[in-house]
A and B are shown apart, each in its own frame.
Chain A
Amino acid sequence: LLLFLFLFFFHQGTQDNDTRAHGDEEHQQGNSTAHRKAFPVLSFNYEYVRKPFEISLWILLALLMKLGFHVIPRVSHVVPESCLLIFVGLLVGGVIKAIRQTAPVLDTDLFFLYLLPPIILDAGYFLPIRPFTENLGTILVFAVVGTLWNAFFVGGAMYGVCQLEGGQLRGVDLLSCLLFGSIVSAVDPVAVLAVFEEIHINELLYILVFGESLLNDAVTVVLYHLFEEFSHAGVVTVADALLGGLCFFVVSCGGILVGAIYGLLGAFTSRFTSHTRVIEPLFVFLYSYMAYLSAEVFHLSGIMSLIACGVVMRPYVEANISHKSYTTVKYFLKMWSSVSETLIFIFLGVSTVAGPHAWNWTFVIVTVVLCLVSRVLGVVGLTFVINKFRIVKLTKKDQFIVAYGGLRGAIAFSLGFLLTGNKMKDLFLTAIITLIFFTVFVQGMTIRPLVELLEVKKKRECDGSINEEIHTQFLDHLLVGIEDICGHYGHHHWKDKLSRFNKAYVKKWLIAGDRSTEPQLLSFYNKMEMKQAMMMVESGGVFGQNERKNTRLITVISKSREMEVRKMLHSNMQKNRQRLRSYSRHDLMMDPFEDDVSEVRFRKQRVEMERRMSHYLTVPAKRPEPPPSVRRVAFEPAHRVYTYDDGEGTPVEARRNASNPVSLLNESGRGFQEEEEEEKEEEQFKALRRLSDPGPKS
């Protein structure tokens, strides 16, 4: 609230100051010849910083609002954040209008060039590939056929209604209606993300709706340009329609191609960045942004290009860049996309109040109703067809969620804003805004209780475990084998071929050093080890109980000691920072590397841990087999890892030095404990220093 007041007092002030500043200058000019003015100790020059100042102020306002919502937990449980932000935008817009300033409107350039790309890149870079490719057929059908159906149905029906209604609406011709239909038909990724992230729905539904919202961009772009051209030309021929169809393929495949090229370039570049780690994240961002802009130059689908770039780039870049860079990329993407999303919704609210409106009851109501109806019909009809080809059929519940989750958002608004020379623009804009408000508010707010009510499956909470990874890979090989035995070149066969091609050729070019030959299982295992190790250091303890789902280490101690240990751990944990897992896309998962592991703290913790380990862990008795619960790895300055379980000291192949795990568990103390404590501490300390700045094996 204070910020509001501050904001527009400033505006008021600036108006006066502007004139005053000008006056001062002239005055100065005039006076300099006459007599020297006293040297200005303190002067006021707002014009100089006006633009950046205002931008920063807006962003700050948006973020403070976001902060404010989380302070009031009750509201944010019921109302999704997007709604609250629009509401704030409305307020701000109202305030600005009241003081008769010109509000900044959601300028189309601003939206498409600056606000949208971060969100899409964030979504594309972290797109879960496996479910996406498994459901690609379904997603494509929904995106292409569904959007086409929506556009034509809404457009056609609107035209019919307009003709029937008469009056003000009679002037709306078919092409304008179709144009309008194409604008409102597309499901919006920003809105979908904003709402779906909060309800934690299961992966399949999430990827269906979200994937659809991404891929329908191509359709939207083509339809929009098509109808816009036609509405200027006035007459449509069959050739034009065919060209439109061709255009669709060009737009989508071209977009993907552009994105893939930039992605490969980015991956290739990241191969050589081992000596300049600091600028690595920039490459990721810039190549992706260039992909988006290049696609936009040719009127190709920028969104698809961006997604393709992120998807192609990711596996190779992640293998090449340092862990810190990876964290930076993750953080920055989340940060930018969060800010963008917030700004978009606020601006939406502001523009609503500011923009010229032409309210027509019939038009608006019919739009909303038609959109809902066409969405439901489209989803149901398409699912009926799709289910014939799917193994895992979509149930009625799934269909309902998919239909209900088709939210419209800021893209529709911007496209509407982009309309030029269309006499119906205001009318359309009003309807679009109403539709957006309806979907975001009504559907956004009610989807959470509906999900609870219908008992839709939620997202799995746990991370991947090493067993699941092993067996997933095993299953892949198995299914390929069975397909080969059947002589059946199915889905698995081609996937296997692609991954083998990838391993044989592509990885060699795009991944630096010997990591190109690292098998997937090994890198997964390394990642997990690292995570567990850091988590262990973080919590100052080794004992993963089932509460901390991420730790899967066990200890073999008796019950009474377990209690003591638990008590101690509990008190220790309370001292350490406890990060709650809040449910927003923009919160990062608990990433141990985030903390700046200061040396002193680390050492203290290590000492603490050592002491505890030697006190409270019993030594498992001699076992016939090398026991699974017992292992120890230690460090060696020469970047090697020794495993002690068999008593042999043969070194493992040197892996990338950064991934050496810290000791997992205390061991069957074959006399190792005492001697090794000091040196272990030393080495692990060294190792952690290495960990915090991983470079290549030099």
Chain B
Amino acid sequence: QQQQQQQQRRHYEELAHKSGFSTEQIKNLHKRFRQLSGNKETISRANLDSIPALANNPIKKQIIDAFFDKRNQRQDDEVGSLEEIGLEQFLMVMSHFRPPAHKSGEEERQAARRQKLRFLFNMHDTDGDGIITLVEYRKELLSKSGAIGHQAAKAIADAAMLEVASTNAPHMAPDDFYEGITFEHFQQILKGLEMESRMHIRFLDVDTTTMRCGKATS
């Protein structure tokens, strides 16, 4: 028993080092992981799919895909997707949503922002070629609430691309073709949103009852 606990603690510390969470948070997240996976070692897409609260979410598929996307594992340019993920991968994805550290310097904030924007970018760039093309953009808008309607979504996507192009490549020659949004352009247009302070959720340190088990999958 002691041995097991020690081993687990060391495992957690390792994970903490890699993902940046505290051991408390990892413990809570592990509990949740086990709930989702039905006490197995890995989670598959079906597990995440069956979370009832996610059913209303218009971008449910993209979120789930993001968990299985290799690019979000920060493993240096691996593309493709995994079938199942273990605790470590789960934590790596979750680590994109950590709140900014209190006493972070400018560099760290920039790095955090870059990381979060990269996560978002990967969610849009479904084919993994490093560019968000108009088709991908349109598809993403379409999926987000069918209420928008086909034509309107197209129009909005067009206008959005137009905007990106105009702010990032204002002097294109007549024969140029705007390929798509690269990561740099993406960063540029979302510069004003201050992602590092907006894209986070609260991972509580203490084991509180907000981690409700009631609605989890079985």
Contact = CB atoms under 8 A, between A and B. Distances in A.
A467 B160 contact: yes
Interface string A259-272: 00000000000000
Contacts of A628: 134, 158, 161-162, 165, 178
Nearest to A503: B147
Interface in A454-481: 460, 462, 465-468, 470-475, 477-481
B120 A475 contact: yes
Contact of B165 (A482, A629, A643): A629
Interface in A641-668: 643, 645, 650-653, 664
Contacts of A486: 29, 32, 94, 201, 203, 211
A669 B135 CA distance: 22
Given A479-B201, A553-B166, A643 B212 contact: no
Nearest to B57: A481
Interface stretch (B2-10, B48-56, B74-82): B48-56
A51 interface: no
Given A479-B201, A486-B32, A466 B160 contact: yes
B32 A556 contact: no
Contacts of B59: 474, 477-478, 481
Contact of B159 (A475, A525, A627): A525
A167 interface: no
Contacts of A546: 170
B190 A557 contact: no
A487 interface: yes
Contacts, number: 192
Interface string A429-465: 0000000000000000000000000000000101001
**Interface hub of B53, B67, B123, B161 (most chain A Cβ within 10 A):** B53
B206 interface: no
Given A467-B190, A521-B148, A624-B177, A485 B54 contact: yes
Interface in A464-511: 465-468, 470-475, 477-493, 500
Contacts of A552: 162-163, 166-167
Contact of B177 (A465, A471, A493, A623): A623
B53 A484 contact: yes
Contact of A652 (B155, B165, B175): B155
B112 interface: no
Contact of B36 (A480, A485, A558, A625): A485
A393 interface: yes
B147 A519 contact: yes
A484 to B, nearest CB: 4
Contact of B100 (A387, A392, A484): A392
A487 B32 contact: yes
Interface of B: 29, 32, 35-36, 48, 51, 53-54, 56-60, 63, 67, 94, 97, 99-100, 102, 120, 123, 133-135, 140-141, 144-145, 147-149, 151-152, 154-156, 158-167, 170-178, 189-190, 192-193, 197-204, 210-213, 215-216
9 contacts: A475-B198, A478-B59, A485-B51, A486-B32, A487-B216, A492-B201, A525-B152, A629-B172, A653-B149
